[in-house]
Structure 1
Amino acid sequence: MTIRPATASDLDGAAATLAAAFDAYPWTRWSIPQDGYPDRLRQLQRLYLGYALDEGIVLVDDDLRAVIALLPPDAPEPAAGMQDEVAALHGERLSVLAAADIPAQPAGAWNLATVGVHPDSQGAGLGGATIEAGLAAVGDTAVGLETSDERNVRLYERAGFAVTAITRIERGPVVYSMLRHRS
């Protein structure tokens, strides 16, 4: 497995991989309207990956079957135009999404914004290898994340993360906030 920095030309394929990986994910199923869900999900992934490529780190494998995006603690807010696109894609779900009270990441921590492996390539260690490469890319620093799939908690714990909070969203998913302290 070769995990490498993504380029702009990788982003559409990487977004398609993330859309496939997150198709049944509790958070995206809750936060994105079901009308046009697959396209909305792919577009959101593409927007977020473009932002992460500009402001942080995006890594992919050579076949674009795995993707990880990490943002530094000092990443600026996305541009207003991107925020408007994200809001439009969330549509009527935007108000419940904005009301979700999830603990903030610790000051100074990188954010593991997303990681995903195409369903056809899951179970072969690609996810773990991608997380390991992402953590190596940010070095000896704290990294936080959120997941709404309990199965992911064990994967992240093997990478050195610990659960710091569990948020139960009314009529929504459970969100596990996790942190990996400096290694």
Structure 2
Amino acid sequence: MERARPATPHLYLAAIGTLPGARGRGLASALLERRLSAAGQDGFLISNTRGTVPFYARFGFEPQGELPIGRGPVVYPMIRRK
């Protein structure tokens, strides 16, 4: 995963999520909007499912391809340029 990370200073979003019972209320969106508005720099995250890529794209994150993890899953690095 380190080779997918930008070389320039950036905000790394390690984990954002909601419990199934809390989904659909805009909580993750509010959390993400607040953090990004305070960041003032590029953002980087690794989406662990293809299904969440469109969610992050709504906030300006651009997919950087697929990243297979050995014989494990494929993850999706995403960058948001400030």
TM-score range, shorter chain: 0.7 to 0.9
1:178 is matched with: 78
* Matches of 2:4 and 2:70, distance apart in 1: 18
- TM-score normalised by structure 2 residue count: 0.86
Secondary structure, aligned partner of 2:21: helix
TM alignment of 1:90-169, pairs within 5 A: 103-106=3-6, 107-139=8-40, 141-169=41-69
- Percent identity at matched positions? 36
* Matches of 1:128 and 1:143, distance apart in 2: 15
Structure 2 gaps of 5+ residues are none
Q: Relative contact order (C-alpha < 8 Å, sep 6+): which is higher?
A: 2
Q: What root-mean-square deviation, in Å, do the aligned CA atoms of Structure 1 and Structure 2 show?
A: 1.5
* Matches of 1:143 and 1:134, distance apart in 2: 10
- TM-score normalised by structure 1 residue count: 0.41
Secondary structure, aligned partner of 1:115: coil
User: How many residue pairs end up in the alignment?
Assistant: 81
1:58 is matched with: none
Structure 1 gaps of 5+ residues are 1-100
Q: Where in structure 1 do 4 or more consecutive aligned residues deviate above 3 Å?
A: none
